[in-house]
Amino acid sequence: MVAGQTTTVSGPPGFLPVLLPIGLGLVGVYYLLPKPKGYPLWAGVVCSAAAIISAGALLVRYDVLTPEVLLFLTFSALAIISGGLLITLRNPVRAALSFALVILSTCGLFLLQAAPFLTAATIIVYAGAIIVTFLFVIMLAQQEGLSDADRRSREPMLSAVAGFVLLAALLYVLVLNYDTRRLDQILAEIRLAQQKETVAEIEKVLGDEIEDGFSKKLETISIAPEGSDRPLPLMERINTNDFMFDLEWMRAKAMGVAEMKKVLGELAARIERIRNMQGQLQPAKERPLSSFSGRPANQQASSGAGRKESIDTVALLGRSLVTDYLFSVELAGVLLLVAVVGAIVIAGRQEGMP
């Protein structure tokens, strides 16, 4: 969707956009899972590819194809494809390598989400340490090559169904709760109206009878407030004690275009705020976080559009870890030590071996 366009969106999102990629993915993964009497490789690949493409087209939302969006699409496609490879490749060595690919692509996603430290840490820990150790074990254990077990799956049909049912439920909830298209559309209309210079033009953009048409549109859209699953009409959520849209609009129309634009600006700000809070669960009011850790999530000002954040969260994370999470960090250190000792004890046990 491109900003400014006023394509009509009506009704809540259906189950269909979720169902199509899920069904394709289910068939594809089932085809690809190792089985004694396998299906042709191309069928599985085609189905899976179709699933990924349809999911990208139906479910992923973006306005403009910025470089950030492009990177996101690339990394997530890579992650999903290599994840699929991990569970379908028969050779464990190759599976492990594709796992490394999953890690690398999620690290790319981390980087896009302003988490450079995590990117580095995950690459070092997973790709650098865990994968290598696993490869050692595979090499040690399976020197003779592909084993029979790798060419069979345990209940491929049932597990694919279970996994995709789970995924369908998750995706449907996400689609349902984070659907911002109608609000985006109203915002676009208002922004368009703001650029007009006469009352007639403004009214033409917003609707013929401004008092009824536009207000009614605001009434018919229902958005659940954060922390609740009971939807309220948008109008009720816009209006506060000091800003009743209908009254303000009547007043502004009497005073001229400039005042009308001002009211529209306020309306747009309010709707944008509501959109940005959509689907949010309210965190606990009292959250004992120090000021070192950034703004706590329960301060509403922290989330919203137009926030300019440095990508440099490393310093922030460091301060947070040694202040608010100091005890947890110590505990994690102890846990690592215990794990190392335990691993040595378990793996080094030799007595009673056959």
Partner 1 sequence: MNPVAALNNYLMVGAVLFALGVIGFLSRRNLIIMFLSAEMMLQGVALNMVAFARYRGNVQGQAFVLFMLTVAACEAAIALSLFMVLYRHRHTLDVSVWQELREADQDPIVDDEPLPPLEPEEPLPHLTPAGREPEHAPS
Partner 2 sequence: MADYLWLIPCLPLLASIVIAFAGPRWLRGQSHWPCLLAVAAACFLSMLVAGEIISQEQGDATLKTYYSWVQSGKLDVGMTLRADALSAIMLVTVTFVGTLIAIYSAGYMHGDPGYPRFFACVALFIFCMTGLVMADNFVLLYAGWEGVGVCSYLLIGFWFQRPSAAAAARKAFLVNRIGDFGFMLGILLLWSQFGFRLDYQSVFDRADTLAGTSTLTAICLLLFCGAVGKSAQFPLHVWLADAMEGPSPVSALIHAATMVTAGVYMVARCMPLYQLAPDALLAVAGIGAFTAMLAALIALTQTDLKRVLAYSTMSQLGYMFLALGSAAHPTITYAAVLAAIFHLFTHAFFKALLFLAAGSVMHAMGDVIDMRRFSGLRRLLPTTHWTFLMGALALSGFPLWSGFWSKDEILGVALEASKKGVFPTYYMIFFMAGVITAALTAFYTFRAYFLTFWGEERIPPEAGEHAHESPPIMTVPLVILAVLAAGIGLVAQPLTGWFGDLLAKTPGLHEHPHHANIIVMLGSSLFAIAGIALAYWMYVKEPKTADELADSVPGLYDASRNKFYLDEAYYNGIVRPAHATSVVCRIFDLYILDGLIDLLAHGARWLGQLFRPIQNGLVQFYALAMVLGLGVFLISLVWALGG
Residues of span 145-204 touching partner 2 by CB under 8 A:
154-155, 158-159, 161-163, 165-166, 168-170, 172-173, 176
* Residue from 115, 78, 121 nearest 99 by CA: 78
Choose the contact partner of 215 out of partner 2, partner 1, none; CB within 5 to 8 A by kind. Answer: none
Smallest distance, Å, CB 340 to partner 1?
6
Smallest distance, Å, CB 163 to partner 2?
7
* Bridge partners for 248 per DSSP: none
Residue 174 or 232: the one with the smaller Cβ distance to partner 1 is: 174
Residue 64 or 258: the one with the smaller Cβ distance to partner 1 is: 64
> Footprint of partner 2 on residues 215-244 (CB under 8 A)?
229
> Crossing angle for the helix pair 181-195 and 199-206, nearest 10 degrees?
170
> Footprint of partner 1 on residues 307-346 (CB under 8 A)?
307, 309, 313, 316-317, 320-321, 324-325, 328, 332, 335-336, 338-340, 342-344, 346
> Footprint of partner 1 on residues 42-61 (CB under 8 A)?
55, 59-61
Q: How far is CA 212 from the centre of its chain?
A: 37
> Footprint of partner 2 on residues 295-354 (CB under 8 A)?
none
Please work out the total of residues on this chain that contact partner 1, with binding judged by CB under 8 A: 115
Buried b (16+ CB within 10 A) or exposed e, 97-121: bbbbbbbbbbbbbbbbeebbbbbee
Choose the contact partner of 37 out of partner 2, partner 1, none; CB within 5 to 8 A by kind. Answer: partner 1
Give me 153's structure tokens: 């799956």
The CA distance from 208 to 213, in Å, is: 7
Question: Does residue 101 bind partner 1 (CB under 8 A)?
Answer: no
Please work out the total of residues on this chain that contact partner 2, with binding judged by CB under 8 A: 17
The CA distance from 140 to 259, in Å, is: 77
Choose the contact partner of 340 out of partner 2, partner 1, none; CB within 5 to 8 A by kind. Answer: partner 1
Question: Does residue 251 bind partner 1 (CB under 8 A)?
Answer: no
Is residue 320 within 8 A of residue 293, CB to CB? The reply is yes
| Cβ atoms < 10 Å from Cβ of 207 | 16
Q: Three-class SS of residue 11?
A: coil
> Based on C-alpha coordinates, what's the Rg of the chain?
27
Cα dihedral angle (228, 231, 232, 237), rounded to 10 degrees? Answer: 60
Give me 73's structure tokens: 């699409």
Is residue 223 within 8 A of residue 232, CB to CB? The reply is yes
Binding mask 80-109 for partner 2 (x = CB under 8 A): ------------------------------
80, 202, 235, 267: which one binds partner 1 (CB under 8 A):
80
Is residue 191 within 8 A of residue 63, CB to CB? The reply is no
> Footprint of partner 1 on residues 113-152 (CB under 8 A)?
113-115, 117-118, 121-122, 125-126, 129-130, 133-134, 137-138, 140-142, 145-152
Name the site residues for partner 2 (rule: CB under 8 A).
15, 154-155, 158-159, 161-163, 165-166, 168-170, 172-173, 176, 229
